[in-house]
Amino acid sequence: MSIEFSTYAPALRLRNQKITDCNLPDPRSVVTHLGAVQAQDYAMAKWAVGIRLPGATDSVVEAALDAGEIVRTHVLRPTWHLVSGADVRWMLTLTGKHIKALSVGRDRDLGIDDALYHRTNDLIARALEGGRQLTRAELMQELEKGGVKTDSSRAVHFMMNAELDAIVCNGVRRGKEMTYALMDEKVPKGLVMSREESLAALAQRYFASHGPATLHDFQWWSGLPMSAARAGWEEIKSGLQAVDWEGKTYFFDKDSPMARSEEKHICFLPAFDEYLVSYKCRNAVFDPRWQKEAITINGIFKPVITVNGRVTGIWRRAVQKNKVVVETSFFDAKNTLPLKAIEKAKQAFGAFLDLPVVVKGT
């Protein structure tokens, strides 16, 4: 199919990611559609769900996390993600061993082996059983009582292993502190699939929600070996259409509408949003000249401003007691928008937090 890909790709991704034309009813549906939402910045991860769910508030997304409808855990690549409670176990079964393989050398340096992981999993499970929800520091105290030496590095590995083994997931926040809960007590049993079925399901979720995207994009997002990513893609490729652009082949669902959006769309996306972080190459929506302004050398993705799907600047927010102050910065003076337009776009963020917005443009 011959199209002006750079013209249509931003609108396609906005729609497929549900940033525009969202018709989903609740936070769980948004996360299910996307497959997983990167979530090391907790507040911004909730906004990533809220921006795709008109009318949602921070408390609505938090309630879904508290109820186990959404789970925050390590599931793709060695970083935090939000994932549907119904999907978390089959995804962990698929990706967990690949994530664990990345830390084998560091485990050795820290004096951790499989036997110790079995022991710490058991101590963590016993500490949390009966509905108890504890912070990482409290759980490390329990390990120390059980004769296991802990420090900050070991604590990270012990807890990530317990997550990857589906022992724990997020608990209810205690003030500003995050807690852990037993997965089996918090999240009902979900889907059970074979490895082949899981690979196909993950590929289908990705290309339906993130397309147009390349096979290398899917491999990067999933954290799977290329052979596994390709196997999942092979299972679902008959339902995809393909477009070649700048030497790469991009795939997206055959049912995706090709019409370019005619309505001007301004959006203030959160840090680490799937719109950027889930692609190995981001040139389709982001001029390479400016990418270093929004993505640091150590992989920090700043909140970005998009105009009709193209990344044009970054924004910062300061949440205060009775307001949220937002400061904007555009890469090119030609992209600066009228303050009135910026304020209108920011109102969604203020509504999400249930706070008035003050905008400072630069």
- Over the chain, what HEC string results? CCCCHHHHHHHHHHHHCCCCCCCCCCHHHHHHHHCCEECCCHHHHHHHHHCCCCCCCHHHHHHHHHCCCEEEEECCCCCEEEEECCCHHHHHHHHHHHHHHCCHHHHHHCCCCHHHHHHHHHHHHHHHCCCCCECHHHHHHHHHHCCCCCCHHHHHHHHHHHHHCCCEEECCCECCECCEEEHHHHCCCCCCCCHHHHHHHHHHHHHHHHCCECHHHHHHHHCCCHHHHHHHHHHHHHHEEEEEECCEEEEEECCCCCCCCCCCCEEEECCCCHHHHCCCCCCCCCCHHHHHHHECCCCCECCEEEECCEEEEEEEEEECCCCEEEEEEECCHHHCCCHHHHHHHHHHHHHHHCCCEEEECC
Over residues 227-252, the pLDDT tens digits come to: 999 999 999 999 999 999 989 999 99
What local confidence, expressed as pLDDT, does residue 333 receive? Answer: 79
What is the domain-level CATH number for residue 171? Answer: 1.10.10.10
At which of 149, 166, 190 does a domain end?
190
Q: Residue 151: give the domain boundaries.
A: 88-190
Q: pLDDT tens digits, residue range 65-107?
A: 999 999 999 999 989 999 999 999 999 999 999 999 999 999 9
Mean predicted confidence (pLDDT) in 107-123: 98
Pairing of strands 70-74, 37-38: unpaired
- pLDDT confidence tier of residue 1, bands split at 50, 70 and 90: very low
pTM: 0.94
Rounded to the nearest angstrom, the gap between the alpha carbon of residue 98 and the centroid of all alpha carbons in its chain is 18
157 domain residue, yes or no: yes
Token pair, residue 191, equals 């889907």
Mean predicted confidence (pLDDT) in 49-64:
96
Given a cut of 80, whether residue 262 has pLDDT beyond it is no
Band (260; pLDDT cuts 50, 70, 90): low
Specify if 6 maps to a domain.
no
Whether 100 maps to a domain, the answer reads yes
Domain count, the chain: 2
Structural domain includes residue 112: yes
Q: Is the pLDDT of residue 8 over 90?
A: no
Side chain identity, residue 233:
W
Look at residues 190, 210, 225 and tell me which one is the last residue of a structural domain: 190
Q: Is residue 253 part of a domain?
A: no
Using the 3D structure, point to which of 142, 172, 190 is the last residue of a domain. 190
Structural domain contains residue 161: yes
For position 346, what pLDDT does the model report?
Answer: 80
In a domain, 330, yes or no: yes
Same domain flag for 272 and 184: no
Asked if residue 29 belongs to a domain, the reply is: no
- pLDDT of 305-339, one tens digit each? 999 899 999 999 998 888 988 888 999 877 777 77
